[in-house]
Amino acid sequence: MSRAEAEVVAQGRAVSPLWTFGLLRSELRVTFRRWRTLALLVVLAGVPVLIGIAMKVDSGGSPEGGGGGGGPAFFSQVTQNGLFLVFAALAATLPVFLPMAVGVVAGDSIAGEAHSGTLRYLLVAPAGRSRLLLAKYATTLVFCLVATLVVAASALAVGALLFPVGEVMTISGVPIGFGEGLLRALAVAVAVAASLVGFAAVGLFVSTLTSSGIAAMATTVGLLITVQILDTIPQLDALGPYLFPHYWLSFADLLREPVYWDELGKNLGMQGVYAAVFGSAAWARFTSRDITA
């Protein structure tokens, strides 16, 4: 058997192992060329603009108020330092907007292809089920990073335009230079993107369950909201540390001097566990499923 197979390979065209990445490249190109993806990114880029303008208008009325102190810690500092708009915007988009956008992309990944029938042609191409699933997940992760960077970049631009920038006062009360502050901002963006890894796997799994892209997106976003509500119910405190959004706001610890790694580590660990569990579930489901659409 193996000898016969080797013969076939030897007589066939020389296939480069690198060609296998063609699917991932195509997936990235198709995803980021869809107007839907671009619309999501535009909406995400708009959030910091809205926050920035609101803060500017508000501070114009009462220079000392600085946002009333009701929101996350960063908001009060935005008017003093535009760089803080990056942190404020990420803190504002992480609970809802970012995961919702990720839910759309992840939920649609397999189910959308099944719905349009293109899934069967990808599979007979043959894309290979595991390979296709990996390409879809990798693309979703790239989207997580791009979406986060879009929010951060938009916030940085708006912040620099509307507010003064300069030395950054960390949460610990120790000032750091602006360059160092920029690096921290980048680190925060990466931490936020990494926070979405687990949720992206949940969305991918949901996507393998149905042949309707819309249903998969709605279910994924519904799950997000449900889990976040569960996380805020005091009676369910015991459950909290096992829910994927529980440590999401740990990225703020990157703004301490020195950086406080404990919860950041817990967050990354949990995202890894979620990715492994739901990634395996998605794989088990997708590789055994009858493609009838």
Mask: binding to other proteins, 270-289, rule CB under 8 A, as x and -? ------------------x-
Q: In 3-state terms, what secondary structure has residue 65?
A: coil
Q: Does 35 bind other proteins (CB under 8 A)?
A: yes
Cβ nearer to other proteins, comparing 117 with 241: 117
Q: Residues with Cβ < 8 Å from 71, sequence gap 6 or more?
A: 88, 92
CA 14 to chain centre: 38
Tell me how far CA of residue 238 lies from CA of 198, 231, 235, 277, in angstroms: 20, 10, 8, 20
Residue 242 interacts with other proteins (CB under 8 A): yes or no: no
User: Residues 231, 240: contact at Cβ < 8 Å?
Assistant: yes
Q: Does 2 bind other proteins (CB under 8 A)?
A: no
Does 23 sit near other proteins (CB under 8 A)?
yes
Q: At closest approach, how far in Å is the CB of 112 from other proteins?
A: 10
CB of residue 283 vs other proteins: minimum separation in angstroms? 16
Name which of 1 and 57 has its Cβ closer to other proteins.
Answer: 1
Residue 8 interacting with other proteins (CB under 8 A): yes
C-alpha span between 224 and 90 (Å, rounded): 17
Binds other proteins (CB under 8 A): choice among 43, 56, 73, 120: 120
Q: How many CB atoms lie within 10 A of CB 35?
A: 8
Q: Does 131 bind other proteins (CB under 8 A)?
A: yes
Specify whether the CB–CB gap between 144 and 193 falls below 8 A: yes
Distances in Å between the Cα of 291 and the Cα atoms of 105, 110, 154, 251 are 21, 11, 41, 41
Shortest spacing between CB 23 and other proteins, in angstroms: 5
SS3 172: coil
- Given the rule CB under 8 A, which of 18-26, 162-170, 175-183, 269-277 is the region that contacts other proteins? 18-26
CA 192 to CA 194: how far, in whole Å?
5
**C-beta atoms surrounding 140 within 10 Å:** 26
Comparison of 20 and 80: residue with beta carbon closer to other proteins: 20
Closest separation between CB of residue 121 and other proteins, Å? Answer: 6
Shortest spacing between CB 212 and other proteins, in angstroms:
15
> Binding residue for other proteins (CB under 8 A) from 4, 60, 61, 179?
4
Nearer to other proteins, 20 or 170 (CB): 20
Closest CA to 188 of 88, 282, 99: 88
Give the span between the Cα atoms of 57 and 162, in whole angstroms. Answer: 10
Among 86, 94, 104, 122, binds other proteins (CB under 8 A): 122
Site membership for other proteins, residue 243 (CB under 8 A): no
> Within 13 Å of residue 9, how many CA atoms lie on the same side as its CB?
9
Q: What residues make contact with other proteins under the rule CB under 8 A?
A: 1, 3-5, 7-8, 11-13, 15-16, 19-20, 22-23, 25-26, 30, 33-35, 116-128, 131-132, 288, 290-292
